[in-house]
């Protein structure tokens, strides 16, 4: 097992007060305890939730703190109680959901720094064939996808700690379709591959130039969301394919077209109140909720288990079991392109303001701290 020289201090981008400023500061490097690992960060990937935290204080309990969620790097130390330490030990290359969301905003858990503490259930070992830049694009999308399906009440193999459903369950799911609206995003492309792995037919929307690549990773049919007849075409496809389409996963800022699509696909059927569900990664506006109510559709925001122990089990399954196995086998493909921003941690504040204006994109802004 390799040993690493761990610095007593390192650089971090610290959020000093609500809405800023963000300042590069020197923090003490804490050693991991219990089920924690210490990761030397090689790449940080930016997500929309980063500027949402900055602007709204979402999941921030106190200041100063460190924002950010997605990193890739190398484990340099482990706590004494990590689960299956043979999988994650000093020298292991990993992707990680490095966040203070569930850590009371403690600065050592945020991604925007050179060394970060991560709970072992937020870690996925990566093969040598996967570079750090690609790996860093994965964490947020993969857990958010699964959180949506958990929220929707789909059967997923978490309880059995398996990466696959029984073959008969997967086969039965083939009579149903799931609509992923915004499949060109990291969350959308993850949800697509996850739904496909459960055996569902998967209809997706994106720009037409993304269709071919989405079909290659599991989409059954792809539709251009800019087509004025897209809602009708999706409903017609479900009827033609003889599948039930009652669930949509929305990875963009509006859910209204997805609401219309599943409502139209079930027009004249015996669908009961509560059967038609839109799972939304972004928080929806009042107009979306009102439209959903008019159409008999329920909008649910993606959530993880409330209980700390159950939440840890959920994330352990997502990262240490499903993602680890699917990345190793090549069945899960990262679709986002890395756009490396020069300047390290000090370049993050300006880039956050740029990200705020972006809609769904296949580009991930990344930083080498």
Q: Render pLDDT for 66-82 as a digit per residue (tens, 0 to 9).
A: 999 999 999 999 999 99
The CATH code for residues 142-301 is 3.40.50.720
Predicted confidence (pLDDT) at residue 365 exceeds the cutoff of 70: yes
Model confidence at 107, pLDDT cuts 50, 70, 90, reads very high
Residue 169 per-residue DSSP state: H
What's the pLDDT at 285? 84
Q: DSSP assignment of 92-123, as one string?
A: -EEEEE--STTTTT-GGGSSSBSEEEEEGGGE
Predicted confidence (pLDDT) at residue 247 exceeds the cutoff of 80: yes
Higher pLDDT, 158 or 225: 225
Predicted confidence (pLDDT) at residue 141 exceeds the cutoff of 60: yes
Predicted confidence (pLDDT) at residue 207 exceeds the cutoff of 80: yes
What Cα–Cα distance (Å) separates residue 259 from each residue in 173, 283, 291, 296, 367? 21, 15, 8, 9, 37
Higher pLDDT, 341 or 161: 341
What's the pLDDT at 361? 64
Task: Classify residue 322 as exposed, middle or buried by CB count within 10 Å of its CB (0-12, 13-18, 19+).
Answer: buried
Distance between CA atoms of 246 and 279, rounded to whole angstroms?
11
Quote the mean pLDDT of the chain.
94
Element (H, E) at 75: strand 70-78
Share of the chain above pLDDT 90, in %: 83
Contacts of 41 (CB under 8 A, 6+ apart): 71, 72, 73, 98, 111, 113, 114, 115, 116, 369
What's the pLDDT at 239? 94
What's the pLDDT at 158? 81
Nearest CA-CA partner of 178 in 289, 315, 296, 279? 279
What's the pLDDT at 10? 98
Report for 17-21, 158-162, 214-218: range of highest mean pLDDT: 214-218
| 312 CB-side CA count, 13 A | 10
Note whether 126 and 282 are within 8 A (CB). Answer: no
Predicted confidence (pLDDT) at residue 358 exceeds the cutoff of 70: no
Within the chain, all domains assigned CATH 3.40.50.720 are found at 142-301
What's the pLDDT at 359? 58
107-129 mean pLDDT: 97
- For helices 348-355 and 48-56, what crossing angle results, to 10°? 100
Predicted confidence (pLDDT) at residue 312 exceeds the cutoff of 70: yes
Q: Contacts from 280-287 at CB under 8 Å and sequence distance 24+?
A: 280/148, 280/250, 280/255, 281/144, 281/148, 281/187, 281/249, 281/250, 281/251, 282/48, 282/250, 282/251, 282/252, 282/253, 284/254, 284/255, 285/254, 287/256
Within the chain, all domains assigned CATH 3.90.180.10 are found at 9-137+336-367
Model confidence at 269, pLDDT cuts 50, 70, 90, reads confident
Residue 210 per-residue DSSP state: G
Predicted confidence (pLDDT) at residue 360 exceeds the cutoff of 60: no
The CATH code for residues 9-137+336-367 is 3.90.180.10
Nearest CA-CA partner of 134 in 189, 181, 88? 189
What's the pLDDT at 304? 92
231-248 mean pLDDT: 97
Distance between CA atoms of 179 and 198, rounded to whole angstroms?
14
What's the pLDDT at 363? 84
19-62 residue pLDDT tens: 889 999 999 999 999 999 999 999 999 998 898 888 888 889 99
Q: Which residues is 180 bridged to in the sheet? A: 204, 249
Nearest CA-CA partner of 218 in 237, 204, 235? 204
Report for 111-115, 184-188, 292-296: range of highest mean pLDDT: 111-115
What's the pLDDT at 353? 83
DSSP, collapsed to helix, strand or coil, labels residue 368 as coil
Higher pLDDT, 342 or 159: 342
Distance between CA atoms of 17 and 228, rounded to whole angstroms?
45
Q: How are beta strands 115-119 and 36-45 bridged, if at all?
A: antiparallel
| 217 CB-side CA count, 13 A | 23
Predicted confidence (pLDDT) at residue 266 exceeds the cutoff of 70: yes
């Amino acid at each position: 097992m390799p040993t690493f020289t761990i610095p007593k201090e390192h650089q971090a981008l610290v959020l000093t007060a609500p809405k800023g400023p963000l300042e590069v500061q020197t923090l003490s490097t804490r050693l991991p305890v219990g089920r924690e690992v210490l990761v030397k960060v090689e790449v940080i990937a930016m997500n929309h939730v980063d500027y949402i935290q900055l602007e709204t204080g979402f999941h921030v309990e106190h200041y100063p703190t460190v924002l950010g969620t997605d990193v890739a790097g190398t484990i340099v130390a482990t706590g004494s109680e990590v689960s299956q330490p043979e999988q994650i030990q000093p020298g292991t290359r990993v992707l990680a959901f490095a966040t203070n969301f569930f850590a009371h905003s403690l600065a050592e858990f945020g991604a925007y720094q050179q060394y970060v503490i991560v709970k072992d259930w937020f870690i996925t070992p990566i093969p040598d064939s996967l570079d750090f830049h690609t790996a860093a694009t994965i964490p947020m999308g993969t857990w958010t996808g699964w959180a949506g399906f958990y929220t929707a009440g789909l059967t997923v193999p978490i309880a059995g700690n398996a990466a696959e459903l029984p073959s008969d369950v997967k086969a039965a799911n083939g009579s149903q379709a799931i609509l992923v609206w915004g499949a060109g995003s990291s969350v959308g492309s993850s949800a697509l591959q996850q739904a496909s792995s459960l055996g569902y037919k998967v209809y997706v929307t994106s720009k037409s130039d993304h269709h071919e690549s989405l079909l290659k990773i599991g989409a059954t049919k792809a539709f251009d969301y800019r087509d004025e007849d897209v809602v009708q075409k999706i409903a017609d496809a479900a009827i033609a394919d003889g599948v039930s389409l009652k669930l949509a996963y929305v990875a963009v800022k509006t859910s209204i077209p997805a609401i219309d699509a599943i409502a139209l696909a079930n027009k004249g059927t015996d669908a009961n109140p509560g059967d038609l569900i839109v799972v939304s990664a972004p928080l929806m506006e009042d107009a979306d909720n009102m439209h959903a109510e008019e159409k008999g559709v329920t909008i649910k925001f993606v959530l993880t288990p409330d209980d700390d122990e159950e939440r840890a089990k959920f994330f352990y399954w997502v990262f240490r079991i499903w993602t680890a196995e699917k990345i190793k086998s090549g069945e899960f493909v990262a679709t986002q392109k890395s756009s490396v921003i020069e300047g390290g941690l000090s370049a993050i504040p300006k880039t956050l303001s740029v990200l705020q204006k972006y809609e769904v994109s296949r580009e991930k802004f990344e930083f080498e701290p």
